[in-house]
């Protein structure tokens, strides 16, 4: 990432500059990213190919001012942190769902070591409604966050479980991975009828008061614990909502039947 890309990335998340990458700066970067870059799967429903190449991630999230899902969001954020002097381990995680624990490459998270030797921190700007700030990866005490009460606990085989408000969210491997290792599962998430990402559209972002999301054609606002829903009945309303709330200008309405192909 060159100097221009760094400046553009910081501008994308509403920051003018970052000095020393210490714990306070990491917290600011993490929160700012969540407030500016949505978790979204619109590319899958617009038949847009998803690339995990480093330059393509920056081109989409910074250049085109789009969002993405975990592989894209955390893949780009890792580059930003490395450019600022952090040492970042890309780690695989299995997500807990109704049927138990999913496969290990179901999610990409980041373990971050800062230039002053502090950390490690579990950074994750790609899991939707999760922690606002990075979590202390080696702490086994409860961690209070605006997003909830989090616990990082030891699991089998040296892995680590992350719990939010007592419910397991995902299990992280400690082994460092390369982004290329996530490509097969990323392709499966885009194309399989069994992937929840192919079942419908989601675009969701943290706000200072709570959260704003578009799920299908429903605009959902959560503000200080109060949730409201609004149906977007026309294509014009839906496209305007993507533009006005997320800064995403789409040429057409995402179609859940128009899936990306290998």
Note down pLDDT in tens along the chain; length 262 residues: 899 999 999 999 999 988 899 999 999 999 999 999 999 999 999 989 999 999 999 999 999 999 999 999 999 999 999 999 999 999 999 999 988 998 889 999 999 999 988 889 999 999 989 999 999 999 999 999 999 999 999 999 999 999 999 999 999 999 999 999 999 999 999 999 999 899 999 999 999 999 999 999 999 999 988 999 999 999 999 999 999 999 999 988 986 444 434 3
What's the pTM value of the predicted model, to 2 decimals? 0.94
- Spatial distance between the Cα atoms of 194 and 179, rounded to a whole number of angstroms: 23
Q: Is 14 left (phi over 0), alpha (psi -120 to 50) or beta?
A: left
For each of the domains in the chain, give its residue range(s) and CATH number, in order of start.
3-181 (3.30.2140.20), 183-246 (3.30.2140.10)
Q: Is 37 left (phi over 0), alpha (psi -120 to 50) or beta?
A: beta
Model pLDDT for residues 189-220, shown as the tens digit of each residue: 999 999 989 999 999 999 999 999 999 999 99
Model pLDDT for residues 35-47, shown as the tens digit of each residue: 999 999 999 999 8
């Amino acid at each position: 990432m060159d100097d221009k890309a760094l400046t553009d990335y910081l501008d994308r998340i509403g920051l003018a500059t970052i000095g020393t990458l210490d714990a306070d700066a990491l917290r600011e970067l993490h929160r700012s990213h969540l407030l500016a870059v949505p978790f979204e799967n619109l590319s899958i429903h617009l038949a847009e190919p998803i690339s995990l190449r480093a330059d393509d991630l920056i081109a989409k999230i910074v250049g085109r001012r789009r969002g993405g899902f975990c592989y894209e969001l955390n893949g780009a954020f890792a580059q930003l942190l490395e450019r600022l002097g952090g040492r970042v381990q890309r780690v695989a995680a299995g997500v807990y769902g109704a049927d138990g624990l999913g496969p290990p490459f179901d999610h990409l998270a980041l373990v971050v070591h800062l230039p002053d030797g502090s950390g490690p921190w579990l950074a994750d700007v790609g899991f939707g409604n999760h922690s606002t700030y990075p979590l202390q990866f080696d702490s086994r005490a409860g961690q209070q966050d605006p997003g909830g009460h989090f616990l990082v606990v030891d699991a089998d085989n040296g892995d680590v479980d992350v719990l939010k408000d007592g419910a397991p969210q995902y299990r992280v491997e400690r082994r460092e991975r390369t982004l290329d290792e996530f490509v097969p599962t990323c392709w499966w998430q885009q194309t399989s009828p069994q992937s929840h990402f192919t079942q419908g559209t989601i675009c969701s972002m943290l706000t200072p008061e709570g959260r704003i999301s578009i799920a299908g054609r429903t605009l959902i606002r959560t503000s200080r614990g109060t949730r409201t829903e609004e149906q977007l009945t026309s294509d014009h309303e839906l496209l305007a909502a993507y533009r006005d709330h997320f800064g995403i200008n789409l040429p057409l309405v995402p179609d859940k039947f128009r899936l990306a192909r290998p």
